[in-house]
Amino acid sequence: MAVNIVERPIADIIHESFIDYAKEVIEDRALPDVRDGLKPVQRRILYTMYRSGFTPDKPFRKSAATVGEVLKNLHPHGDASIYNALVKMAQSFNKRYPLVEGHGNFGTIDDNPAAMRYTESRLSPAAMLMLEDIDRNVVEWKDNYDDTMKEPEVLPSMLPNLIINGGSGIAVGVASNIPPHNLEETIDAICAYIKKPAITTKELMKFIKGPDFPTGGIVSPKGLLECYETGTGTAVIRGRVVVEELPDDKRQLVITEIPYQVSKESLISRIANLVENENIEDVIEIRDESDKDGIRIIIEVDSKADVEKILGRIYAKTPLQSNFNYNVVALVDNKPKVLPLREAIKEFVNHRKEIVIRRTRYELNKARKRQHILEGLIVAVDNIDEIIRIIRNSKSVAMARKELLKATRLSEVQVQAILNLKLQRLVHLEVEALKKELKKLVKVIERLESILKSEENVLKEIIKELQKIKRDNPNERKTEIIEFDKISIKTKVDRFTLQINDNKSVRKLSPDYRGNRGATLKTDSTKTIVSFDEEGYIRKFTSRTLPSRVKCKVLALCNEDEVADDADIIFVTTDGQIKKSAFSEYREIKEDSAALKLNEKAKVASVLIGRDESEIIIITEKGFVIRFDHLDVRQIGRIGIGVRAIRLEDGDKVVGAITVNPNDSKKLQVETRSGEKKSLEIRKITSQGRGGKGTNFFAPDSVIKVIGAK
């Protein structure tokens, strides 16, 4: 057996093999295509999910199912790389406009996702825009790796995905790093380019002001023009920081947004090391309060600290200020190319021109075929007697087809449509429907033909599609573009209405909320909130330490700094006792503490804070009401015991109390056991001495709640 051995220098073989390998990595692995902004694995995932029916209107499906299908049919390079690509397309902190909707643990900015057997996914609405028209012969198809099926070379991509979602990749000798941008701004820039192809980069930047990262942040405009003119350059990003004022003159820096692709855990560690190594004494504590609602890194500082100076050092020496290195490299005609902004827009527009032309031709061809059939059916209906005679006299379908072709000027397609026609279509209404359909179809054909007549009409169609996407997907910019020296650290004050319901749940509501269910208070994030409850305890909170529920029913709330030291705090208990103390008695309390001593089985019925009115009205469950001057109750210390306010009958108890002016014309309102609301004119309640039995104004055992005076 002859052996054919070819001797060649090993250097040449290695060189050629490496070139082939490098070409494969560049074209089929690492770099996105300029037309749809996708790497092959991403495109294969989206197409597989579309082909499998994992669309936004369907239930989520196991991610493992998608990975398995992609691995089996299109991308035999390991399940880990496929799942990793799927996850990144679903992460809202990774993609400005996610192409996959994830259900389950898809990871956080610091943590890895769950395994694919635990998560579920489906296409996002944005991905559907990428895939729209794919079944209309608008893109070229190629064989998969084992020639068992076809896959699209590129997606139709109605979205300018390369620009709005960016991307990164490292190939052999080539790297790409493209930032994401705002959809509305990008669409405006593309439309401006279509209307004026000679538009300059500077003019385009009137629309695209800079990158728009999913994690927000602040970007300096310095250097952006160079990035967009050349496709390479550096943008400087800063995290967003606000100052929150705390009680006791304390302040804290709150990082609410961090630079794109910066690890939160790493950032906190770097800040902590900076504080420790450079001995920044003004920093009291660093903690992470981030949750599902967003980033919240706290740097608590001394009240006398120079916040600007501390923040400047953090920006300079930690990733809170980072660089994003532009290197806009994508495949153009299967070759890597550095793309300035205008060039990237041009390539997208060229791609969409081809898609619109091919789609229009497909629809036009389909419409013309239908027109041809409708014209044949209408001819048949107009000559129905002759048609039926020919069919009845024919011995077979083939003979009927042959005789119809001979007797009429109809084509084979039209004759076959006539033979397939159901008799019910011959009724008058159905005939009219055929004529109406033909009339509409003629208009559709005219419109499609007009699109193909000129490039200008094709471009108008592209603009119309883009404007519709913009209208349907309003989207505000997340990243602010501003000179760093013009940034002022904003003191954030969060105003809200605090409500603690009778069921003990705590809610933060709109500052404009006007309801009166439970205990309510207008407050903000700078206040210390004081609560008094039915067990006789005083508790203090800030907006950050508010619990989701309290231990027992809260009767009154106040902002500590809004109550004067000499203001009265009046406690009325269910067993008829009353106690009055100055608010200063409770000013220094830091933790939960008893506000008064209660007799056995007694609870606090009402707490009246800092009122200027001079008379007190107390109401009991059996309907007794007593009114007396507040001077009848002297101020005592916090640990003092109260005095009798009303003499109760056996089985009776106090349900509430209010304060009023002597000449008050309002009405006392109460709620009865039956749910009925009853009122009593306050002027009808005679003032008497403290400690009496009062007067019975309501039915026995009927009053369960005092609403107030209105």
Widest CA span in the chain: 129
Q: Which amino acid is at 280?
A: I
What end-to-end distance do the CA atoms of the chain give, in Å?
113
Give CA–CA dist 136/121, Å, rounded.
Answer: 26
Strand partners, 150: 143
In the sheet that holds 495-500, the strands lie side by side as 506-509, 495-500, 519-524
Q: Is 309 exposed, middle or buried (0-12, 13-18, 19+ CB in 10 A)?
A: exposed
Q: Is 118 a catalytic residue?
A: yes
Give CA–CA dist 322/270, Å, rounded.
Answer: 13
Q: Which amino acid is at 235?
A: A
Output phi, psi for 287, to 5 deg: -150, 160
H helices within 394-454, ranges in order? 397-407, 412-419, 428-453
User: Is beta strand 297-301 parallel, antiparallel or unpaired with respect to 251-257?
Assistant: antiparallel
State the catalytic residue, choosing from 21, 50, 118, 260: 118
Stretch (H or E) spanning 257: strand 251-257
CA angle 221, 224, 225 (to 5 degrees): 115
> From its phi and psi, is residue 282 left (phi > 0), alpha (psi between -120 and 50) or beta?
alpha
Output phi, psi for 375, to 5 deg: -60, -40
Instruction: Dump the DSSP string for 116-149.
Output: TTT-EEEE-HHHHHHHTTTTSS-S-EEE-TTSSS
In the sheet that holds 283-288, the strands lie side by side as 283-288, 297-301, 251-257, 240-245, 490-491
The answer to whether 253 touches 243, Cβ cutoff 8 Å, is yes
Which tokens hold the place of 62? 């196991």
Residue holding tokens 């395994």?
Answer: 115
DSSP 157: -
Give CA–CA dist 102/68, Å, rounded.
Answer: 17
Give CA–CA dist 35/157, Å, rounded.
Answer: 7
Q: Is 68 exposed, middle or buried (0-12, 13-18, 19+ CB in 10 A)?
A: middle
DSSP 109: S
Q: Is the dihedral of CA 153, 158, 164, 165 positive or negative?
A: negative
Catalytic residue positions, numbered: 118
